């Protein structure tokens, strides 16, 4: 049993499940039906997996929608489910007729339950709970049944709230202990006083949660329903509303048009969190982090009051086309003065999306490190900046500084454009296949690098982890199959071997006046050039290093409805035979890792994390709660410093970037922080050990072999 928990996770679990929901329509039944009609036709005709919309499909949508609305079992009872079950095997038939009776019933009941919940949690939090009672709560909600009736539901609420309070009390007790250590005259608060404070904190958290829930509209919930439908075809097939589609395009291109500021909701207000380095607001110089935006005017037009407005709606008015003016009425953080700030919108590049590089000296030799966070491209302008162009430039800059080896860091890179993955693979070989792509019911099609130019032909190490997915796996697999580079990182990558295409729904009903959003649909599977799929299996590292996720359930293999692993015939390719000591280098690294006390401790830590992940039972008796928590904290002490590591290496920016720092201090600070993290990165340190040992074959040796 474990008791140390992340209280905000419990409080906001429900809301976080909905933030992906998005604006589809404003209670427009005809539009809702049009979207359903288009989706069912596209999915049944074009999805990689042929799937009948039958009773099994209906059951999936039924369970998925109910669980998406109520993942913590806070709203529906078994009595509700008995009524809902009339549609359990009829949703497929309804969808074929573009009917949404199931959605209407469940959504209507859900709204009633949300209103009732506001009364329930307020009433429960008025009085103290019994913290001496021996009872538990199981947070494995997938296995927990829905409450039998309304009385049982209220008791479920009581347990959830009690757990949150216990966590808050424990945190406050620790704060009191720390105050006493700092000041021996400090009078510690009693348990009763701390409990009252904890209940107030939980009440505020719940109030804040329901303010956000109340901001959601029918369209947001309908989007949740649509995604329950399309998920029946696979975990990576999703409906994207116009708003989410816009965010997707921005994420893929690394660009947006606006003022270049990160915003967040704080109570009733829209607050500036950060200015994007080099963006319009940053250049203008008056707007600062912490400022509150009260009104927004488009040029000389009448300003619009955005106090109390949903954040997404406020952003719509603040963003805008390049070259247009926005006038913000702002309450300044420093002196609470009210000022009007005029900003000319422009294209904003999100620097953290793009390739960046560093240079490090080791044993008298220079090595380059390229971090590629995403395979980005601007689909609306493929000639514009993309990952391939930036990688090619960065390699050229590093070569100009005479680096003798290169690390490409794909850790946490979730993928992106298939096109750029193929092109980047081509930067490291003369020419040849990079990946195989297969549509349903067709033979695999080999995708080649046709450019004989090689941008980098020296030693190469590719870093991956369990979160390297999709396009990252294409690149890593190609380098592994060619023997072009050493793959080092987690035991295996994420295992997403499918390709999605984004299809605007308005393309299918061109005269429809409103934006209907888009469908991101799985249309292909991709395969390594050796014939095996990366689906489920991912890419197994040549050198596996223990990490946090080594024993966790994480990856494609843990997703419901994930496509299976399979294989196709091998493509025609020739291994590069790039290294004369590949096997020895891999062996040496494995020996170092197996003997290294840090890595041994990290492996033990990973096992400990797995043990705690599997334990979902929490005590609601405070003595047991505290006892279990103390035991867990004691266990955690031996892992406190396992990631504390500092190398004797110095990482610096390439020369071209040093010139930028004179004008851009924000970029300078970000790079300094990155370089400091690299210095403390035990995984990067071992990757550099591997890179420094690799010896390239001569051309004569390659010909002989």
Counting Cβ atoms within 10 Å, is residue 297 exposed (0-12), middle (13-18) or buried (19+)?
middle
- DSSP H helices in 231-340: 242-253, 280-284, 311-318
Q: Where are the domains of the chain?
A: 7-233, 255-349, 352-704
- How much is the pTM? 0.82
Q: Is 496 a catalytic residue?
A: yes
What confidence score (pLDDT) does residue 561 get? Answer: 87
What confidence score (pLDDT) does residue 26 get? Answer: 44
- The rounded distance, in Å, linking the Cα atoms of 692 and 585 is 9
Catalytic residue among 92, 346, 390, 481: 481
What confidence score (pLDDT) does residue 129 get? Answer: 95
- The rounded distance, in Å, linking the Cα atoms of 247 and 235 is 20
Contacts 24+ apart (CB under 8 A), 388-396: 388/419, 388/420, 388/423, 388/424, 388/427, 390/354, 390/355, 391/355, 391/424, 391/427, 391/455, 392/427, 392/455, 394/355, 394/356, 394/357, 394/370, 394/654, 395/368, 395/370, 395/427, 395/455, 395/456, 396/455
Backbone angles phi, psi at 605, to 5 degrees: -60, -40
Q: Is 685 a catalytic residue?
A: no
- The rounded distance, in Å, linking the Cα atoms of 615 and 5 is 11
Number of residues that make up the chain: 705
Catalytic residue among 496, 525, 619, 681: 496
Backbone angles phi, psi at 36, to 5 degrees: -60, -45
User: 674, 358 in Cβ contact below 8 A?
Assistant: yes
User: 488, 543 in Cβ contact below 8 A?
Assistant: yes
- DSSP H helices in 469-567: 471-482
DSSP 689-703: HHHHH--BPPHHHHH
CATH of domain 255-349: 2.30.42.10
Split the chain (705 residues) into runs of 10 and give each run's mean pLDDT: 34 33 52 89 91 92 95 95 96 90 95 96 96 93 93 96 92 88 89 94 91 84 91 92 77 73 80 80 84 90 84 84 91 81 84 88 96 86 82 96 97 92 96 95 93 93 95 97 97 94 89 89 95 96 94 85 94 94 98 96 91 84 91 85 92 93 84 93 97 87 49
Catalytic residue among 228, 241, 470, 589: 470
Architecture, CATH, for domain 352-704: Alpha-Beta Complex (3.90)
Q: Is 481 a catalytic residue?
A: yes
What confidence score (pLDDT) does residue 65 get? Answer: 96
What confidence score (pLDDT) does residue 7 get? Answer: 30
Structure tokens at 603: 């492996």
DSSP 335-396: T--EEEEEEE-EEEE-GGGS-EEEEEEETTEEEEEEE---B---TT-TTS--HHHHHHHHHH
* Nearest-10 Cα torsion for 398, 399, 404, 405: 60
């Amino acid at each position: 049993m474990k008791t140390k928990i992340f209280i905000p996770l419990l409080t906001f679990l429900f809301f976080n499940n909905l933030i992906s929901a998005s604006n589809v329509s404003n209670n427009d039944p005809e539009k809702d039906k049009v979207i359903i009609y288009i989706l069912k036709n596209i999915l049944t005709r074009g999805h990689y997996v042929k799937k009948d919309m039958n009773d099994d499909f209906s059951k999936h949508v039924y369970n998925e929608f109910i669980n998406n609305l109520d993942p913590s079992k806070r709203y529906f009872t078994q009595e509700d489910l008995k009524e809902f079950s009339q549609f359990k095997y009829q949703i497929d038939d309804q969808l074929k007729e573009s009917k949404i009776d199931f959605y209407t019933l469940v959504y209507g009941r859900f709204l009633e339950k949300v209103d009732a919940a506001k009364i329930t949690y307020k009433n429960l939090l008025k009085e103290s709970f019994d913290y001496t009672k021996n009872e538990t709560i199981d947070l494995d909600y997938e296995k927990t049944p829905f409450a039998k009736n309304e009385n049982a539901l209220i008791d479920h609420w009581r347990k959830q709230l009690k757990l949150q309070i216990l966590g808050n009390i424990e945190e406050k007790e620790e704060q009191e202990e720390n105050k006493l250590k700092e000041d021996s005259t400090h009078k510690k608060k009693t348990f009763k006083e701390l409990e009252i404070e904890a209940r107030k904190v939980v009440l505020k958290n719940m109030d804040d949660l329901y303010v956000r829930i109340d901001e959601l509209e029918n369209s947001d919930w309908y989007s949740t329903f649509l995604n329950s439908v399309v998920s029946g075809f696979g975990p990576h097939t999703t409906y994207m509303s116009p708003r989410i589609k816009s965010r997707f395009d921005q994420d893929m291109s690394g660009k947006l048009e606006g003022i270049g500021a990160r915003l967040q909701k704080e109570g009733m207000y829209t607050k500036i969190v950060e200015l994007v380095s080099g963006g319009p607001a940053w250049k203008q110089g008056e707007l600062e982090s912490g400022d509150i935006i009260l009104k927004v005017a488009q040029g000389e037009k009448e300003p619009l009051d955005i106090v109390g407005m949903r954040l997404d709606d406020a952003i719509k008015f603040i963003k805008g086309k390049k070259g247009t003016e926005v006038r913000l009425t702002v309450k300044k953080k420093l002196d609470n003065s009210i000022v009007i700030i005029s900003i000319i919108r422009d294209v904003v590049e999100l620097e953290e999306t793009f390739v960046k590089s560093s240079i490090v000296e080791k044993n008298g030799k220079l090595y380059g490190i390229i971090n590629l966070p995403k395979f980005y491209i601007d689909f609306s302008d493929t000639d514009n900046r993309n990952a391939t162009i930036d990688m090619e430039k960065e390699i050229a800059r590093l070569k100009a500084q005479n680096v003798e080896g290169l690390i490409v860091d794909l850790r946490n890179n979730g993928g992106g454009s298939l096109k750029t993955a193929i092109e980047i693979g081509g930067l490291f070989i003369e020419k040849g296949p990079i990946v195989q792509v297969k549509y349903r019911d067709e033979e695999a099609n080999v995708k080649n690098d046709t450019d004989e130019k090689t941008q980098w032909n020296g030693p190469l190490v590719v870093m991956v982890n369990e979160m390297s997915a999709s396009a990252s796996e294409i690149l890593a697999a190609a380098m592994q199959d060619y023997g072009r580079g050493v793959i080092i990182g987690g035991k295996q990558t994420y295992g997403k071997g499918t390709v999605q295409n984004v299809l605007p729904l308005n393309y299918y009903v061109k005269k429809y006046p409103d934006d209907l959003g888009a469908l991101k649909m799985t249309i292909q599977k991709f395969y390594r050039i050796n014939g095996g799929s990366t689906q489920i299996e991912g890419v197994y590292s040549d050198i596996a290093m223990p990490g946090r996720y080594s024993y966790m359930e994480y990856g494609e293999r843990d997703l419901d409805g994930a496509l299976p692993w399979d294989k196709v015939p091998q493509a025609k390719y020739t291994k590069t035979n790039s290294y004369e000591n590949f096997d020895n280098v891999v062996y040496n690294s494995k020996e170092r890792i197996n003997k290294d006390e840090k890595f041994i401790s990290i492996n033990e830590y990973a096992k400990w994390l797995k043990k705690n992940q599997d334990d979902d039972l929490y005590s609601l008796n405070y003595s047991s709660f505290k006892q279990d928590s103390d035991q867990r904290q004691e266990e955690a002490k031996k892992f406190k410093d396992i990631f504390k590591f500092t190398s004797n290496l110095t990482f610096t920016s390439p020369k071209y970037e040093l010139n930028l720092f004179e004008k851009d201090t924000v970029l300078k600070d970000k790079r300094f922080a990155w370089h400091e993290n690299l210095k403390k990165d035990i995984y990067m340190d071992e990757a550099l050990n591997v890179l420094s040992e690799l010896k390239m074959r001569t051309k004569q040796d390659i010909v002989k072999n």
